[in-house]
Amino acid sequence: MAGGLTALALAARRPDARILLVEAGPRLGGNHVWSYFASDIPASAAWLVKPLAAAKWRGYGVRFPAFRRQLASSYRSITSDRLDAALREALPAEAILTDARVTAVKAHGFTLADGREFRAGAVIDARGAASFPGLVGGWQKFVGQMLRLEQPHGLTQPVVMDANLRQHEGFRFVYVLPFGPDRVFVEDTYYAASPVIDRDVLVGRIADYAAAQHWTIAEVLGEEQGVLPVVAGGDPAALWAGPAGVARIGVGAGLFHPLTGYSLPMAVRMAAMIADLPDLAGAAIAVACAERARRHWRGGAYYRLLTRMLFGASTPQARYKVFERFYRLDAGLIERFYAGRSTWRDRLRLVAGRPPVPIGAALRSLLGGGVPLARLDDLDRTHHPARAGEEEDL
């Protein structure tokens, strides 16, 4: 996604630049649904994602044991199919290389698994990350299915967080996107200490959720799964290490929201920044991207503190109470939180009042104690996909 957005931005803003987009899989964009609030995207960069939206809604809902709420914030979803189509329309056929796995990169070129070597004036690495060495926190992991139902589902807006259900392993919620009268995307999601996904169990829970809504599944049109990092702290230096002169973008560079794991807004901003650089030489792009990544890390300190409290101060079964309290707050505060633009008043409001976690546990977690946090480089790659929602794009 980060690589595709950058290619689209360059094609639009720098038509003189000769681009080659390299994808490890058979199609661009893989198999994903990426969603965002319209307020996540700066007005100056909205042009980049506007044509990619496969669905748009004027609001969304949340559900918790204590209450339900509808919010008026505009919500959008991008599908892999739309990203693939947009890239093929914007780039000439010779600018796209699929089924091509990159095995080595350097400042002025790269090598594929089949031995072919390419030279370039600039190399931008958007291959995501298989782990996040030096960081601690937890994971947001999920399995989602696009369902065709035998009857209309009756939804007019997404349910971004339905936590009014049995909790498992950590904070669990179901995410629902209505893509048509009888077509709905249902995702079973967990904030958990372990990244391991038991696909069959989660698919069974999706079916149970559909049955609880009195929906009859006629057909499963597609399925995706993923693991997103949720960061509480650590040293990000390893994320930015790599060959000198190679720009690193996307999740692999730490360009995601520390508490939600979502990376699309940061990918949009980075793509627009690269396309507007006065100098597209490899060294200049690498320096600009590294500085943006460091600035993003510094700006995420408050959200990492909240992650530490979520994982370090509350029991897994009670984590839903943190989000339940959050969604009672002002709608503007919620929008700014997701966009990573919380004001100092927002930050005070988020921690003011009676906390949804024990005060003693919250203080211990802030001081480095409490429940031990997971290392985000401790992955078992044989049990789950660890690419964190990114494709192997270069």
The rounded percent of the chain whose pLDDT value lies above 90 is 79
In this prediction, residue 60 has a pLDDT band, given cuts at 50, 70 and 90, of very high
Structure-model confidence comparison of residues 97 and 128, the more confident one? 97
Q: Are strands 53-57 and 75-79 parallel, antiparallel or unpaired?
A: antiparallel
Average pLDDT over residues 276-303: 96
Tokens for 179, please give them: 């893509």
Do 107 and 123 meet the contact criterion of CB atoms below 8 Å apart? Answer: yes
pTM score, whole prediction: 0.91
Average pLDDT over residues 36-55: 94
Q: What is the pLDDT of residue 369?
A: 55
Tokens for 101, please give them: 């796995």
Cα angle for residues 333, 334, 335 (degrees, 5° grid): 90
In tens, the pLDDT along 233-285 reads 999 998 888 899 999 999 999 999 999 999 999 999 999 999 999 999 999 99
Q: Where is average pLDDT lowest: 29-33, 61-65, 339-343?
A: 29-33
CA 312 vs. chain centroid, Å, equals 22
Do 296 and 266 meet the contact criterion of CB atoms below 8 Å apart? Answer: yes
State the distance between the two ends of the chain, measured CA to CA, in whole angstroms. Answer: 11
In tens, the pLDDT along 182-195 reads 999 999 999 998 89
Average pLDDT over residues 103-124: 96
Cβ neighbours around 135 below 10 Å, total: 24
In this prediction, residue 197 has a pLDDT band, given cuts at 50, 70 and 90, of very high
The rounded percent of the chain whose pLDDT value lies above 70 is 90
* Longest alpha-carbon distance in the chain: 60
In this prediction, residue 379 has a pLDDT band, given cuts at 50, 70 and 90, of low
Q: What is the pLDDT of residue 361?
A: 54
Q: Judge residue 26's burial from the number of C-beta atoms within 10 Å of its C-beta, 0-12 exposed, 13-18 middle, 19 or more buried.
A: exposed
Average pLDDT for the chain: 90
Q: What is the pLDDT of residue 359?
A: 54
Nearest C-alpha neighbor of 3 from the set 91, 113, 71: 91
In this prediction, residue 382 has a pLDDT band, given cuts at 50, 70 and 90, of very low
Do 142 and 262 meet the contact criterion of CB atoms below 8 Å apart? Answer: no
Is 6 a residue whose pLDDT tops 80? yes
Is 79 a residue whose pLDDT tops 90? yes
The CA-atom distances, in angstroms, between 65 and each of 125, 130, 168, 176, 177 are: 43, 35, 15, 17, 20
Distance of alpha carbon 222 from alpha carbon 305, whole angstroms: 36
Count, residues in the chain: 394
Q: What is the pLDDT of residue 55?
A: 96
In this prediction, residue 389 has a pLDDT band, given cuts at 50, 70 and 90, of very low
Distance of alpha carbon 84 from alpha carbon 68, whole angstroms: 36
In tens, the pLDDT along 206-216 reads 999 999 999 99
Is 315 a residue whose pLDDT tops 80? no
Average pLDDT over residues 45-55: 94
The CA-atom distances, in angstroms, between 44 and each of 49, 276, 333 are: 11, 12, 21
Average pLDDT over residues 164-191: 95
In tens, the pLDDT along 348-363 reads 998 887 665 555 555 5
Is 393 a residue whose pLDDT tops 50? no
- Domains (ranges, CATH) in the chain? 2-59+72-134+233-299 (3.50.50.60), 135-231 (3.30.70), 302-375 (no CATH)
Average pLDDT over residues 1-20: 96
Q: What is the pLDDT of residue 39?
A: 95
Average pLDDT over residues 314-335: 90
